[in-house]
Amino acid sequence: MAKFLIEPHFRLQEWVAEEKGYFRAEGLDYEFRELVRSTGGQIHNKGDKVGAFQSFAEGRKSNVSCACHWTVNVAASNGHGRMYTDVYSVAPAGIFVAAGSKIKTPADLAGVPISVGYQSGSHYATVQALEAYLKPDEIKLNYADGMLFARMEKLIDGTAPAVNLFSGPYYLAEQLGFRKVIDTTFMIGTMIHGNPDPEDLRKFFRALRKAQRDVDLRPELYTHYYKNEFPDRFHAMMDTRRWGPGERLVFEPYTKEVYEESFEWIADHHIFPEGTMGAGRYEQATLSLVG
């Protein structure tokens, strides 16, 4: 049987579990790959309107991967994997502008291009947060600045007026004095690829649960792992001692009710063309190992 393939995903838990030997202690026969950083960050320069959903459609290599729960819902419904419903996570996120920007309130973002990842968490979360302040035609999304690190660089370079960031880039923007206009914290879902042994999945998530406990207890011991995910050119400006714990795993069920409510929200906001959201029901699109 092939080794269980683990790839970190913008968070600390996999790095902590690897450091502490939790995967090995669970008896998991695995391979640990670093894909997020890709040294120069080229993996994030995917171009206009290419985001998390498109990466699922192309196929991901790891046995377990993550994206915002909205995209995982639609990808699973289209048969690009199965959504694992025994755990979800919550990622701190926000829309940032330069310290000296004239944009002071969410209402000031009317008509301002906001850099987000297409059909990715930042896309949905920006709409969800701003619709309390702006009309739909006042929310202007810019997909051309690329994925997370690419658009963070645009913010730092001063070539993007407003950018949605989460995880490590969120903390770097905060550290460098960029101003958060509005919080856009969002849920992340887990996708299972291929047909891994259910017992391997249990071992993997038991290890992550232990790692989450460690991060909760002493986050300052582990924030240095953010550097493992950042392209080299940002390292000199990073002081991860000032950063927070980031994405938090929640070992509670992602229920049918949440799935269906999220699906309805996506459809109401026309984020996917009509007829492309998939027909997979919760029971067919998801996987649970509880019970």
Query: Which of 185, 206, 232 is the last residue in one of the domains?
Result: 185
**Shared-domain flag, residues 39 and 180:** no
Count Cα atoms within 13 angstroms, Cβ side, for 258: 17
**Shared-domain flag, residues 134 and 160:** yes
Q: Is residue 273 part of a domain?
A: no
Domain extent for 138: 93-185
**Shared-domain flag, residues 203 and 162:** no
Q: What is the CATH number of the domain that holds 180?
A: 3.40.190.10
Between the alpha carbon of residue 205 and those of residues 190, 217, 264, 277, the distances in Å are 11, 18, 29, 28
Q: Is residue 16 part of a domain?
A: yes
**Shared-domain flag, residues 44 and 58:** yes
The DSSP-derived string for 36-105 is: SSHHHHGGG---TT--HHHHHHH---SSEEEEEHHHHHHHHHTTSSEEEEEEEEEE-EEEEE-TT-S--S
Between the alpha carbon of residue 30 and those of residues 16, 86, 226, the distances in Å are 15, 21, 22
Q: Are 17 and 210 in contact, with CB atoms under 8 Å apart? A: yes
Question: CB 255: neighbour CB atoms within 10 A?
Answer: 13
Length of the chain as a residue count: 291
Q: Is residue 283 part of a domain?
A: no
**Shared-domain flag, residues 78 and 198:** yes
**Shared-domain flag, residues 216 and 75:** yes
Q: Which residue has the tokens 């550290």?
A: 175
Domain count, the chain: 2
Question: pLDDT by residue for the chain (291 residues), tens digit each?
Answer: 689 999 988 899 999 999 999 999 999 999 998 765 544 444 445 555 555 666 665 656 789 988 999 999 999 998 889 999 999 999 999 999 999 999 999 999 999 999 999 999 999 999 999 999 999 999 999 999 988 999 999 999 999 999 999 999 999 999 999 999 999 999 999 999 989 999 999 999 999 999 999 999 999 999 999 999 999 999 999 999 999 999 999 999 999 999 999 999 999 999 988 888 888 789 999 999 986
